[in-house]
Amino acid sequence: MKLRIVFLLLPLAMLLGHPVAAPAAQASLNLDQVLSIALERNPGLAQAEQQVRAAEARVTQAVSAYLPQLSNKAIYNRNWYESEAYAAASGGSGNEFNTYQNTVSVSQYLYDFGATSGQVDQSRYNLSSTQQQRFTTLAQLVQSVSKAYYDVLRKEELVGVNQDSLRVQEAHLEQAKALFESGLKPKIDVTKGEADRAKSRLNLIKAQYDLRTSRVTLEQQLGGPPVEGEYSLAPLSRYPRRPPNQNKLLGEALKARPELADAEAQIQAAEASIVAAQGNYFPSFSLGASYNWQNVEFPLLESWQAGATLNWALFSGFKTQGQVNEARANRLRTKSLLRERELQVSKDVSSAYLSVNQALESIDSAREGLRQAQENMELAEGRYRSGAGNAIEYSDAELSLTQARSDLVQAVYDYWQALVDLDFATGRGHQSLAKP
């Protein structure tokens, strides 16, 4: 029976940093590989990328106001008339004639008291905000896929625990049958062994179903299976570690969380929009020139124009005032948004930090519980074989050992998922994958 006890401990080695190799026929994917697949396929991230492209295009549009504006306007008309006097005056013959006109114009912005520069700055800060929103989408994707990855590993471990439990129950049942046939144990031990085996089979079926469900969840987040054919996920190869000081983590989060950078960019965009709106109170200055030629049939008329333009909307029905008030309200709103997000970041860091430390304490407790359950199992096995114990005592010991192993699996993966949440809270989770 000691050999079976040793066999039960094999998955524990994986939990403590000694991975068990996957079958050679399967593709083994680690977390970084799975995340790379998610980045390539995720539609939400693709949408965020296109939003960045659109924001870049809006910057180009805004900057174009600084550059010369060149235009050409050509007009052709076919004219019909009935007045002979008009025909004589126009130089035409008959009752129809053609007119041609072409105008080439160029203008150059000079100054408008911040209206244009404000619009340009606003578009640039909006671009920065959109980029940070892309990073937020990336961080959320890393968080969700990582937790789904660890959940699959958790369910695989629990399947292994239940498989081992079933093997132990089957071995015990054979032992109980042999002892019954030799007259050393009553029939009830055999009946109890059969009932325990049936329960272990049911637990294994449930664990296998939970594993399939977790794999489906992961594949849904990846947009389908990560590879063609069978695959496995690489087991853990790192020891749990304690996180740094909470205040240090909060300081990192306030600098790294993209949601905060997004809110700060929105504040700057609102400030720029105020400048742009206030510029509409004042005149704008520009230079312009044009060349125009036109004819009626053959006579050609040419003209040149060049000069400076002052454009001043003296009254716009309080439109400008409304734009300024709207921009100021947006500035106050974005400042409140930043404060709200700072509070949320602080809450996220605190909650994740506590969860990580709680999980570490649970791991220590679960390890101790497993050690005691193993000792109890060995004692129960010895008592049963010597005739001093009974089937109920043995069954309770095996159940406690299975539960202890399950508790350790749960505690270890609770830690890794809590660490994912902590990496998200501090802005660490996506940084290695972020692309400018």
Tokens 């947006």 locate to: 330
Cβ neighbours of residue 280 under 8 Å, at least 6 residues apart?
115, 313, 316, 320, 323
Q: What is the pLDDT of residue 3?
A: 32
CATH superfamily of 2-67+113-282+318-426: Outer membrane efflux proteins (OEP) (1.20.1600.10)
Residue 42 CB neighbour total at 10 angstroms: 19
CA torsion through residues 109, 110, 115, 119, sign: positive
pLDDT score for 312: 73
pLDDT one digit per residue (tens) for the chain, 436 residues: 333 333 333 344 434 433 444 444 567 899 999 999 999 998 888 999 999 999 999 999 999 888 888 888 888 887 776 656 655 555 555 567 677 888 888 888 887 788 888 889 999 999 999 999 999 999 999 999 999 999 999 999 999 999 999 998 888 888 888 888 888 888 888 888 889 899 999 999 999 999 999 999 999 999 889 888 888 998 876 666 777 788 899 999 999 999 999 999 999 999 998 888 888 888 878 888 888 888 765 556 777 877 777 777 776 667 778 888 888 898 999 999 999 999 999 999 999 999 999 999 999 999 999 999 999 989 988 887 777 778 888 888 889 999 999 999 999 999 999 999 999 999 886 655 544 3
CA distance 12 to 371: 11
What pTM was estimated for this model as a whole?
Answer: 0.79
- In contact, 129 and 262? CB cutoff 8 Å: yes
Q: What does the CA dihedral 368, 372, 373, 375 come to, rounded to 10 degrees? A: 140
Helix (H) or strand (E) holding 27: strand 27-29
What is the model's pLDDT at position 1? 39
Q: Give the strand pairing for 300-311 and 231-233.
A: unpaired
Give, in order, the Cα–Cα distances in Å from 155 to each of 160, 280, 410: 9, 63, 9
**Terminal alpha carbon distance of the chain:** 59
Q: Is 360 exposed, middle or buried (0-12, 13-18, 19+ CB in 10 A)?
A: buried
